[in-house]
Structure formats: C-alpha cells, structure tokens
Chain A
Amino acid sequence: MWKTILRRVLIMIPQLILLSILVFILAKMMPGDPFTGLITPQTDPAQIAHLKAAAGLNDPWWTQYFHWVVNMFHGDLGQSYTYKRAVTGLIGERAVNTFWLALLTVVISYGIAIPFGVIAGRYEDTLRDKSIQLYTFVLLAMPSFVFYLFGLVVFGYVLQWFPTSGYVSLNADPGTIGYWGSRLYHMILPALVGGLVSTSGTIQYLRAGVIDNTNEDFVRTARSKGVPERVVFNRHILRNSLLPIAAFLGNSITGLLGGSIYVETIFSYQGMGQLFVSSITANDYSVITALTLLFGFLTLLGNLLSDIIMSIVDPRVRVE
C-alpha cells in the first residue's frame, strides 16, 4: 500500500518538471513581461532596459528557467504589480479563503447527492426517482452561472438572508468567534449554490450504479445465501455503486481548491478563482504564471488523491 503511494508520488516528479517548463514557456510567449505593468508614459525606456537586464530577462531561457525554479523553492514567485505585494503571500491568503469555501461546498454537495442518488437508484421509476431526475436535469440544462445569479438575487438581494459579497464583514476582529461566524455566514450562500450545481453528476452516477449493481450476479449470490435485503443493499449494492464516486473524489476536491471562477466572481468572494480572473484582466504577469502552475499542480495532486482513494476502496486497483 505505502509502496504504491510512494511510487505514485515519485512518478509525479517528472510530471511536475514538465509542467513547470510548459508554464514557463507559455509565460515567455505571453505579450509583455513583469515590468509591463510598471511602464507609464513618463518612464525612461533606458531605465526599463536596465531593469530588464538586471532581472536577467536577457539571459538564455534555460538560465531564466533555472532562476525561476530556484526562487520558487525559496518561496519567491515574484511581485504582483496590481496588489504591490509578493505573489506567495497573496496566493496564500486567497488559498485559505478558497479552501474553506471548497470544504463547505464539498460537504454540501455530497451530503445532498449521495442520499438523492441512492434513493433514485433504489426506487427506480417511482415518483421519488422521477422528482430527483427532474431536479438533476434542470441543474444540468441550466448554465451554472444563471443558477448562481438566481441564488444571489433571491437570497441576497430580495430576501436579504445572506451577504452578497466579500468573505468577512469589514468590522469583524480577526481571531474572535464573531470573526469566524462572519466568515461562515459569508460562505453559506456561495457554498450552497456551488454545492447544489455539482450534485447532478454525482446523483446520476450513483443512481446508474445502484441500478446496474442491483442486477449483478453477485447480488443474486448474496440473496441466494439468505442475506437480509437491507444488508444486500448496503454491503453488496451500495459499496460497489460508490466506486465511481470515489474515483472522482480526489479531482473534485482539488478542482474546488482551484476556486470556482463563476462562484467567486458572482459573489465577489476573495478566493483563487477571482484572483485568477482579475490577474488576467490586469495582465498581472507573475500572478498568472504562479496560478497556472498551481492549478496544474492541483490537477496532478487530484489524480494522485483519486488513485490513493481508489486503491483503498477497490482491491482490484491495488498494485502489489
């Protein structure tokens, strides 16, 4: 088991190197450079050239790449010119916001999707199943941002149950219970709408899994042993139906850690997704590069997590 995980982690090293080279080349190909944002009509071109030379931008690309990687290991991803601060600190702060939102979203999403999927599959073609099916089809058919806007308008502006922007009230004192309460209060609406939208896939997979597994031979074997129906369902049908959900779990967690661009933009929630969008619009070179690298890393991490989860729950994928 540990050997499998270790080997899986080792495979990630060349993948990460390749990813960083790719991101670096993409960054080089982008118009502009880290100083573009600093240029004003009054700037002396000679001074810019001097700054570029001092920053090593005239060196061959592999030297630049090497410096970039060395700096990265020292926690230096450059400076954001829009926020006038180190990219590492900026992303770190946003990552914490996104992490809590992602956690709440995952809990809400699976908390709703798993019971719904099980009910729909177990009571196939009944009114309960049809209602759940209708719910998933509506969610699937609607663009997610429409649903987010709808949530924002109804619960934020019309009913005024929840705040419409930000991640904490401005007058909350960090460290107090009130501060954390305020953060939670700000997260509930975005997590709820984000969680609801991501339920439809899980429900569909689980429903199909339960229906398929009910007709499997091993379920018939279990029944032929005289196993009570409740146990047949929980031990034989449900466990096998949860496999595809488990396979996606790692990716869906790290995917959410990347921040939802729609949710964070619509709810003005200061997280990674919103930072990514604003850095692109402002052409904030260092932030874009760092985030792209981070998102790539999260994808790899998600695959790793999924593989580890699968090897725990499914003996067939365990490699000896």
Chain B
Amino acid sequence: MDKPEDLLLDIQHLHTAFRVGDDFYDAVDDVSLTLKRDEILAIVGESGSGKSTLATSIIGLHNPMNTKVTGDILYSDLNLVGLNEPIYNRLRGNDIGMIFQDPLAALNPLMRIGDQIAETLLYHTKMTKEERDKRVLELLGQVGIPNPERTFRQYPHELSGGMRQRVVIAIAIACKPPIIIADEPTTALDVTIQAQILDLLRQIQSETHSGIILITHDLGVVAETADRVAVMYAGQIVEKGSVKDVFEHPTHPYTRSLLRSMPQADSDDDELHVIQGVVPSLKNMQIEGCRFAERIPWIPDSAHEAKPTMHEVGPDHFVQCTCYKSFHFEDEPAPTAEQIAAAPDKPAVETAVGGAGVTDDSED
C-alpha cells in the first residue's frame, strides 16, 4: 500500500545537541522516523522529551551557535541536515510550513494580519501584490475566518485566540507545503476551540494531501486526530506505530503509564495514576541503558537491555528496550517467565517505507 513516492521525510539517526556550558548534550538522541504523504503523524511526550526540538530541527531553526544537528533528514533528494541557509530558506514556508503553539506570540504585533500571511507568498511566489492579497483572502476563508476582508486589515491583538491560531495556520499553508509541522497547536486554546482547530487541520490535510507532524502532549488529541504516533521519552522514541495499534496494544512501559495516567470520565477511581519521578534534565540524562528504568524501579535491572534497540511487536509497531516484556504496574502481579517468553518480539527491520516482511504472529 505504501509507494516510495509517498514518502515525504525520512529521518535517520537524528541527534540534536544543545550546548550547556562547554559541552553538548543530546536533546534528540538517535531518532529515526518517516512521514508519508496524506498522513498525520503525532509525536507525543512529556515536556522536555525533545519533541519540539525534533520539530525545530526539521525546519532548521536552531541557533547554530549553540546547537549541533547530526544524522539525516531526507526530503526528496535533499538532506536537510547541514543544508546551506539560502536553499533552506527556499524550503521554509514553501515546502515545510510550521504552526506554533502560542498564536498571540507567534504573530508580529505591529503588522496587519493580511501582510503577515502575504509575507510567505512574497518570498516564494512571483505573484503581484493584487494576486497575493487575493490569495490571502482565499486562505482566510479556507481556515474559517468569518469575515476575511475585515480580518485582513486587523492586527493580532484584535483577534481571539482561536482566530489567531487560524491565522497562524493560514501562514503555514499559504504556499501549500507538502510538509506541515504543528507544534502543540491547541495547547494555548480552550477545549471547544481545540476541537475546531483539530478539525481544521484534518480538513486541510485531506484537501492538500500533505503530511502533518503533530506535536502534542495530549493523548486525547492523538487518538482523535493522528494516523500514526511516535512516543518520545528523554530524547528518544520509545514506541511508534499506528494510532490503532499503540492505543489498543500499548507496549512500552512509558506508553502504558501515560495511557493509564489519562483521566477517565467513566471511571469510579478517584485517584489518578501518576508516573514516579520526572523527565531527567538535559545534563542529567543517562547515556547508557534504558532511560525509563529509573521511573519503574520495581522492574528488575535484568529486564532492560544494556543498549536498548527497537523491537517489532506487531506490523509496523516498534518498541524500544526489552523491559516491556516484564513490565507490570506496581499494583499488578508480575508476569510469569512463560508470559515473558511468549511476548511478541522481532528484531526490528526498519525500512524507509515502514515495516517490511511483517508477519501476523505478533498479536496476543
């Protein structure tokens, strides 16, 4: 079903390191991911898990003075890592559109809305002023602004949060980029507006057939919106697969803990599940071994791999480290040796176009 030409982005062994004092620390550590046309890929994780850093690395907006990006980000026949600035600038806005978290801060307070959207068109198209203005009005209508002519002349402070986020989306899609990165696009909005914005993203995705990378910490958003999901913890991807697989068969202890921490409307439990500890800071990140181990201390050390690798536990469903086999919550009985041995596991053969040679023996 996947054709190679559907592949938009192929990220291989990406490292993004920040300078702290004199040393560099990996905020994104050996991440491999693909983005296909016509899909919404969610990247989910706690604050500090490196998901926004990953997004910023794709669009190349890290300050080169204190950031080192290594690995490959392949887009058509270009490697975005180390790409020279003038070429990168031609891609930004035109091939990769970015939607930011806080829609008020993301807009220049001194510029009219129309001019801010037209700015993208100015540097990527040969349109005349009239053509640009016409296209901006079209875009404002497309993102659901009720009175495009009026909003065109307004300033950001005159709009509500939801309207501003629509404007930010209009900026990102102005040149119909094949890749759209949405970095927590709904975090700053209230719940009803969140749903509208997510609907809008899905609608844009189906109209433009673009690939969207949706960064969020909200598993509810993932379940509702995304096709595939990658769960990030401490700079690494610990589980990835289709939303259906990951939500129905969450496998990595971190994913399972996250899902268990979600408040359930129909649950009688008063107490919310809490994952012990915190995401380690950049400087205190352990380099070797399973990074989640310290937050599940009741699981014996022998359950973890010394050098965690990816394991294929289902078709196109990958999990890092072997600890998922012996994992149980503290209030549950530990799995027996037979159960551990029977856990699905195939050494991952990751290809650019998803899992090749997958058999169906992984379920149950």
Interface residues in chain A, defined as those with a beta carbon under 8 Å from any beta carbon in chain B: 216-218, 220-229, 235-236, 239-240, 313-316
The residues of B that contact A222 with a CB separation of less than 8 Å are 108, 119
Contact with A along B51-90 (1 / 0, CB 8 A): 0000000010100000000000000000000000100011
The residues of A that contact B101 with a CB separation of less than 8 Å are 217
Tell me which of A216, A225, A229, A315 contacts B119 (CB under 8 A): A225
Tell me which of A221, A228, A236 contacts B168 (CB under 8 A): A221
Give residues 148-202 of B contacting A (CB, 8 Å): 155, 157, 168, 171-172
Q: How big is the B interface, by class?
A: 20 to 34
Besides A224-B61, A240-B110, 15 other A-B contacts (C-beta < 8 A)? A218-B109, A221-B168, A223-B61, A224-B92, A224-B96, A224-B97, A224-B172, A225-B92, A225-B119, A235-B108, A235-B111, A240-B108, A313-B110, A316-B155, A316-B157
The residues of A that contact B157 with a CB separation of less than 8 Å are 315-316
Determine whether B107 belongs to the interface, using a CB cutoff of 8 Å to chain A. yes
Give A316 to B107 CA distance when docked, in angstroms.
13
CB distance from B105 to the nearest CB of A (A): 4
Given contacts A225-B123, A225-B171, A228-B123, contact A218 B107 (CB under 8 A): yes
Give A69 to B41 CA distance when docked, in angstroms.
76
Most buried by B among A222, A224, A227, A314: A224
Do residues B93 and A239 form an inter-chain contact, with CB atoms below 8 A? no
CB distance from A301 to the nearest CB of B (A): 26
Do residues B110 and A315 form an inter-chain contact, with CB atoms below 8 A? yes
Do residues A227 and B110 form an inter-chain contact, with CB atoms below 8 A? no
The residues of B that contact A314 with a CB separation of less than 8 Å are 109-110
Interface residues in chain B, defined as those with a beta carbon under 8 Å from any beta carbon in chain A: 59, 61, 85, 89-94, 96-98, 100-102, 105-111, 116, 119-120, 123-124, 155, 157, 168, 171-172
CB distance from A298 to the nearest CB of B (A): 29
The residues of B that contact A221 with a CB separation of less than 8 Å are 98, 100, 106-108, 116, 168, 171
The residues of A that contact B109 with a CB separation of less than 8 Å are 218, 240, 314-316
Number of A-B contacts (CB under 8 A): 74
The residues of B that contact A240 with a CB separation of less than 8 Å are 108-110
Do residues B92 and A226 form an inter-chain contact, with CB atoms below 8 A? yes
Do residues B155 and A224 form an inter-chain contact, with CB atoms below 8 A? no
The residues of A that contact B111 with a CB separation of less than 8 Å are 235
CB distance from A89 to the nearest CB of B (A): 46
The residues of A that contact B116 with a CB separation of less than 8 Å are 221
Do residues B120 and A226 form an inter-chain contact, with CB atoms below 8 A? yes
Give A222 to B117 CA distance when docked, in angstroms.
10
The residues of B that contact A236 with a CB separation of less than 8 Å are 108
Given contacts A224-B93, A225-B119, contact A315 B155 (CB under 8 A): yes
Give A222 to B59 CA distance when docked, in angstroms.
12
CB distance from B165 to the nearest CB of A (A): 12
The residues of A that contact B85 with a CB separation of less than 8 Å are 229
Tell me which of A216, A226, A228, A229 contacts B91 (CB under 8 A): A226
Do residues B90 and A226 form an inter-chain contact, with CB atoms below 8 A? yes
Most buried by B among A226, A228, A229: A226
Give A223 to B102 CA distance when docked, in angstroms.
16
Most buried by B among A218, A220, A223, A236: A218
